[in-house]
Chain A
């Protein structure tokens, strides 16, 4: 395992005003006993609502925050005690923070990082060439970072995090605030990095399309605890989210019962019916439907990941 965490916990002390002059101390557990085991080469989605403890976990795994309890090992190292050694072996992108030098052109930030990470010139040049080609950095490499658009800056941040050839890439909301094209570019780039087997990727995001497109494994955290660890399909199965057939009819819905499917809604004066697949395949239900009623149009809808996650956050 390249990342291991056992009972990882982070408590913060918060002082609340209870009188004119009195304040009471309260201990808030941002992360409350997280267990994680991530294998080399995995790409993992680490999601949860705001304040769930995602970023705090990442900061403990990168050695920036000292855990209140529990144990973590990343690349075989203890993150806090061996922070500097670990920093050479991991790459980090925090979507809302910048690791680039604001006043300098992007290219100079890259060159500065080469010296800081002590990367051999040839390795640096090869990685930079690849990132430039994949992310189209040429157009703005000589522009000072302060003048870059958010999308351009994020491409720069991803490059900066990869130039030293990290074994693990921690990404905290890398697509936040980006337009559709920039999001697509970032996702394609990450998929490429993963496909090349270059780095294990831990991705936190609120954009579930990132997860659908990139991650086979999903860890959901809420109130500092892991509430799901498995694939997306497992999540759907666990929360009973089902595929749905939407049928537009030439006549009003006669109120039939179809084996293996459940009517969830009848709309449009009875001319549209929604059927959730409940054991039967889409083909079986469509065939039964076509025999029973005259069909005008038909579509099969996959369960919305947003709905499942929202139910999970609400603890339905």
Chain B
């Protein structure tokens, strides 16, 4: 990996590591909601005779806590700085540098995701392990695939948010686009409920036609042993590549029509 990429990843990590109280508050909130979601899911499963569309209790617990942990890693509804920098005109300084802003933002966000893994991911997972009975994969390879799947999910999350941020070149105010992405990604990723509860046609549409399941459901399915893990991971990598390519194309178009706001 080139040194500049590594330096940007480290910088992203350090940037977010400075906000310790925010990290603590965010982790605490994730844990509280983890408990609530766990109780709801387990009640639904119990009333359905112990299985929720094929998920047993331990699998549901893993699905919930993995989701709570990954929430801050994929940063689903938190927009990237780029939209604000386009709005204020500060994006001009990103373009003065001898590096494509797409990579600057990607590596910085990977650094941020790394910090979130160490804090916002591990603590809720530990809470799940301590207070509930989780499904733990027996094959060590599955753990490696879960880690790779989380990295792919972080890149997919970045791609989506960067694309939304780039709409600022046309819209200036991206709040609508951010809200739409937030709503679609939380439902479509399986954050609120496992996608298996949806009708089959809708599941097919989501998995085949959108990147949303790659944000969360894909990793959960690999972890609880549903579906072919390599195929799921390949799907995530496919969406990561597609989104990054789309970001690159949109950015090229945006910078050609660039109007720097405010002199």
Q: Is B93 engaged at the interface, CB distance under 8 Å to the other chain?
A: yes
Q: Which of B8-16, B48-56, B137-145 contacts A (4 or more CB under 8 A)?
A: B8-16
Q: Are B8 and A112 in contact (CB under 8 A)?
A: yes
Q: Are A83 and B263 in contact (CB under 8 A)?
A: no
Residue total for A at the interface (Cβ-Cβ under 8 A): 32
Q: Are B95 and A118 in contact (CB under 8 A)?
A: no
Q: Are B7 and A92 in contact (CB under 8 A)?
A: no
Q: Is B3 engaged at the interface, CB distance under 8 Å to the other chain?
A: yes
Q: Which of A57-65, A188-196, A223-231 contacts B (4 or more CB under 8 A)?
A: A57-65
A59 to B15, CA, bound (A): 29
A83 to B18, CA, bound (A): 33
Q: From B258, which residue of chain A is reached at the shortest CB distance? A: A65
Q: Are B15 and A103 in contact (CB under 8 A)?
A: yes
Residue total for B at the interface (Cβ-Cβ under 8 A): 29
B 1-28 contacts with A by CB, 8 A: 3-4, 6-8, 11, 14-16, 18-19
Q: Are A99 and B7 in contact (CB under 8 A)?
A: no
Q: 1/0 contact trace for A68-89 toward B, CB 8 Å?
A: 0000000000000001110110
Residues from chain A with Cβ under 8 Å of B258 in the complex: 64-66
B104 CB to nearest chain A CB (Å): 8
Q: Are A65 and B260 in contact (CB under 8 A)?
A: yes
A33 CB to nearest chain B CB (Å): 20
Q: Is A184 engaged at the interface, CB distance under 8 Å to the other chain?
A: no
Q: Are B93 and A101 in contact (CB under 8 A)?
A: no
Q: Are A99 and B96 in contact (CB under 8 A)?
A: yes
Q: With A84-B98, A85-B98 as known contacts, state yes or no: A97 contacts B89, CB within 8 Å.
A: yes
A64 to B104, CA, bound (A): 17
A65 to B256, CA, bound (A): 7
Q: 1/0 contact trace for B92-128 toward A, CB 8 Å?
A: 1101111110001000000000000000000000000
Q: With A97-B92, A98-B93 as known contacts, state yes or no: A116 contacts B99, CB within 8 Å.
A: yes
Q: With A103-B18, A104-B11 as known contacts, state yes or no: A64 contacts B98, CB within 8 Å.
A: no
Q: Are B98 and A117 in contact (CB under 8 A)?
A: yes
Q: Are B98 and A94 in contact (CB under 8 A)?
A: no
Residues from chain B with Cβ under 8 Å of A55 in the complex: 260, 263
Q: Is B204 engaged at the interface, CB distance under 8 Å to the other chain?
A: no
A51 to B263, CA, bound (A): 8
Q: Is B259 engaged at the interface, CB distance under 8 Å to the other chain?
A: yes
Q: Could you list 8 further interchain pairs (A-B, Cβ under 8 angstroms) beyond the known A59-B92, A116-B97, A116-B99?
A: A51-B263, A87-B96, A92-B93, A97-B90, A99-B93, A99-B96, A99-B97, A144-B18
Residue positions of B touching A, CB distance < 8 A: 3-4, 6-8, 11, 14-16, 18-19, 89-90, 92-93, 95-100, 104, 255-256, 258-260, 262-263
A–B complex contacts, Cβ < 8 Å, 10 sampled: A55-B263, A59-B260, A92-B93, A97-B93, A99-B97, A101-B15, A104-B15, A108-B11, A108-B14, A116-B104
